[in-house]
Amino acid sequence: MVVAAAFVLDTTRYLGLGIPVIVSSFEYPLPARDFLLKMTFTIVTLSAGFKGGEVTPLFFIGATLGSFLAFFIPLPVGLLAGMGFVAVFAGATNTPLACSIMAIELFGVECGVYAGLACAVSYLLSGHNSIYGKQVIGEAKHERFSFLEGRKLNEL
């Protein structure tokens, strides 16, 4: 299905790592189709049981989503792309603190507050889901889910 879609769209932009697209997302606003198609291709690939990687596609999806939001949010495109880059990863891995530190390492201390807020919101809205199923819930995100503490995410 992915190969057929790439032929129909006449592009390989959404296949593979997509590093050139990630880099361009920091330079100018990209269209919504970039994050939507990469997300669709990644979901189809992983749902079919293929493991082509999770990390770089998440960076691609986040950076292009942030870049697209520059059309609506009056902040620099590079800042929004960086926030998306780390926030999507924070939500998908349940690691907001690590992703906030990663943002500071990659993009500089100036983005720390913005990235930290984006990572926290993403983490809180992601529920008890993660790309890492063996992750154990140390503390529930809300008290009504406290019965889940100590369980692995793939057991839910």
What does the pLDDT look like over 62-118, one tens digit per residue?
999 999 999 999 999 999 999 999 999 999 999 999 999 999 999 999 999 999 999
Same domain, 39 and 64: yes
128: closest CA among 146, 115, 101? 146
Same domain, 75 and 151: no
* pLDDT confidence bin for 2, thresholds 50/70/90: confident
85: closest CA among 21, 7, 150? 21
88: closest CA among 49, 122, 139? 122
Name 152's bridge partners.
Answer: 136
* pLDDT confidence bin for 39, thresholds 50/70/90: very high
Domain that holds residue 138: 132-156
Same domain, 72 and 88: yes
153 and 128 in contact (C-beta within 8 Å)? yes
Asked if the model's pLDDT at residue 120 lies above 80, the reply is yes
Mean pLDDT, the chain, rounded, equals 93
Same domain, 77 and 148: no
Asked if the model's pLDDT at residue 11 lies above 90, the reply is yes
Q: What is the domain count for the chain?
A: 2
123: closest CA among 153, 146, 103, 99? 99
What's the average model confidence in pLDDT over 116-143? Answer: 90
- Separation between Cα atoms, residue 65 and residue 73, nearest integer Å: 12
What does the pLDDT look like over 43-52, one tens digit per residue?
888 888 887 7
Would the pTM count as exceeding 0.75?
yes
- Separation between Cα atoms, residue 135 and residue 150, nearest integer Å: 10
- Separation between Cα atoms, residue 105 and residue 83, nearest integer Å: 13
Residue with tokens 């924070």: 90
